[in-house]
Structure 1
Amino acid sequence: MKSNNQTIITAIVIAIVGALILSLIPTIPSSVSFALGAIAVGAVLYFMQTPKEVTPADNTETSQSSKTLYVGNLPYRANETDVKNLFAEHGDVFAVRLMKDKRTGKRRGFGFVVMSSLDADSAIEQLNNKEYGQRTLKVREANEPKNADTDIVETE
């Protein structure tokens, strides 16, 4: 179970609130009420982060495979919603991530779209070299090299 500072702080705050509520009962000492609050928070966090069992009825959505597409030459003013709407015209879009410069926070003109593998090839065909926002998009599968022929160099 992963925990970060925000989760720990949230757990402590909830434990303190639980202790305050339980301290209203005069027969429970404050140390016991704090412990009960902490146990309750631990249980809640455990059940929130434990993955649920997938039943065959639930399996339809999780069985869909996905492909990550690289999208280059995006207009700098395009945001995640714009790109998601553009790709949604061609299939199910699961996620969009546009890259930003770490120092300035400005978009870098490329990103990644995760979509259903059933629709990805069609989206590549339809959107690669298409004009969008006065720029010509470059769309391909993210883990696919630009030119597979140049990757292998034989030397004797």
Structure 2
Amino acid sequence: MNSPTIINIILSVVLAVAGYLLVPVIAANLDPSLALAIGLLLGGILVPIIGSQFSGTSSVAQQADEENSKTLYVGNLPYRANEQAVQQHFELQGQVHSVRLMKDRRTGKRKGYGFVEMTAAGAEKAIQNLNDSEFQERTLKVRMAKDKVEE
């Protein structure tokens, strides 16, 4: 387990116990099990907010990670493929930050191509291993995406 996960677990337990102890004091006729549930609910809401303060990820580290990421163009995708399936397929090559599959604006149907943002090392590996490979009975075309040209 990594450090942010442990911190989040500890924060969840602390908030649940605080809810168990404090909510009956505030509302004297409240059942203790309901108080625990309210504490857990508050913990689920507050832990991501509080945990990000202690996780050690700074904006500098996030900027370095973004600069180290590359966007891949993925063509000839099956029309039935969804973002989760594509992400799982590409995660075998490296860490995936995001997947965007393009849809027709009018019909909402997928166009058969998309973009995968991942670490630079993973992107290079994905190009080598997944270009011209089979995915859901289609041969993928994987290459570095070109920068979008503003008109």
Amino acid at match of 1:71: V
Q: 1:133 aligns with which of 95, 119, 136?
A: 136
The answer for the alignment partner of 1:87 in structure 2 is 90
Q: Deviations over 1:21-64 (max 9, x none)?
A: xxxxxxxxxxxxxxxxxxxxxxxxxxx9xxx9xx8866444412
Output aligned runs, 1:4-153, within 5 Å.
59-64=60-65, 65-143=68-146
**Equivalent in the alignment of 1:17:** none
Q: Note the C-alpha offset of 1:104.
A: 0.4
SS at match of 1:105: coil
**1-structure distance, mates of 2:137, 2:85:** 14
1:81-135 CA distance string (max 9 Å, x none): 0000000110010000000001100000000000001211011100000011111
TM-score by length of 2: 0.56
Letter in 1 for 2:110: R
The answer to which structure has the higher helix fraction is 2
Structure 1 runs of 4+ with >3 Å offset: 55-62
Larger Rg: 1
TM-score after normalising by structure 1: 0.54
**CA-atom RMSD, angstroms?**
2.3
CA distance in 2, matches of 1:56, 1:78: 33
Residues matched between the structures, number: 92
Calculate percent identity across the aligned residue pairs: 52
